[in-house]
Structure 1
């Protein structure tokens, strides 16, 4: 799949773990703007998509703010825009929701091919051209320590080889991220993200609209 033009284009839809299927309807045009802050964030998201699509120097993006503010929506909108813009140049996009990743891992534990599934997911996240890790930090509150430790490990392994082109969405603020992850992971997350840490402040709760 990853060696063909159309295969790479299809990775976003066939390999992503998104949770709510309605997220596939997320575009820039469907993001409801009610405040100037929301317009500014929408404009920044469009700029990020343009910069990614133009194959400029690789960089990371962090979307941080309270739940329901549209972080996942705009992260998906960016990916879908990139996927369309770059479909003829063999670029791949992937959206991974952290809770869905944990669920997928737990399912794999009941089968003999557990190791194969872990390696497949890790390799995919490490090698796609553009990656969204959605809702990072949810695993820190899980009672299942084994799953939480595995997510910490995979996040480190992914960022240890990726050189940008990664978007993180999280409800955690800087100090909370530092408590949830060790310094090596924080360093990898913040690397190449200067000017692209977007705080979703002054945003209405999109789930109430």
Structure 2
């Protein structure tokens, strides 16, 4: 039986004879190797970019970024449903969905854990999707420091972070509302103009991209805190994109 190289050589000779052309096998091989090298380099760059983006997250404790779906307790039917909803959201984003999602409920119910689990789930897959986690309180504080920064250190940090926020495919904005007030209900006060301006800029970056907002506040409270354009661009209007976390404080379990 003839090998593949011999067969290909015979085919090329016939083509050259019938069409009066010369086929340079060596150049074909070099072109194919060049294409494969380009594919390999591009894939390596995208993998590095995915991890670089995630490592640019703004968080007080890096260990908070290690959560996976396996870490979420499902001792009650409500917790099982919360986990299932979060996994469905991860699957929708993986398939290309660019909606806004809202995780709301009292502190310690697992909102941040499941939001991070979604990011880690997407990061672990063979995909180019880039993810970023940002604490809203830390973001606003960093922006304030940059205003009075004489040496451009914080200004440069803010610039790099905002570029990541603008470019990433999936953004978690964690604990929206905490940067403004720790109260709920009728005592809620509007966010400062400075905070509103920061969030409006972020909201403008995130149009037509997937955003996950975690908050201890209800939707009505957030509407009293922030300008309508911020609410419209960052908060979902779809009930199916909202997870309401109940149950016991996981930090006390």
**Distance (Å, rounded) in 2 between the aligned partners of 1:193 and 1:115:** 36
Which residue, 72, 77, 88 being the options, matches 1:36?
77
1:27 aligns with 2:68: yes
- Larger Rg, first or second structure (1 or 2): 2
Which residue, 50, 61, 73 being the options, matches 2:101?
61
**Distance (Å, rounded) in 1 between the aligned partners of 2:144 and 2:49:** 27
Contact 1:12/1:94, CA 8 A, preserved across alignment: yes
> Unpaired runs of 5+ in structure 2?
1-43, 183-190
Q: How many angstroms does 1:111 deviate by? A: 4.0
| Equivalent residues in 2 for 1:26-105, closer than 5 Å | 26-55=67-96, 57-86=97-126, 89-105=127-143
* Count of aligned pairs: 199
| Equivalent residues in 2 for 1:146-165, closer than 5 Å | 149-162=193-206, 163-165=208-210
TM-score, L = length of structure 2 = 0.71
Which residue, 181, 185, 197 being the options, matches 2:230?
185
TM-score, L = length of structure 1 = 0.85
Contact 2:104/2:111, CA 8 A, preserved across alignment: yes
1 or 2, which has the higher helix percentage? 2
**Distance (Å, rounded) in 2 between the aligned partners of 1:122 and 1:101:** 10
1:112 aligns with 2:151: yes
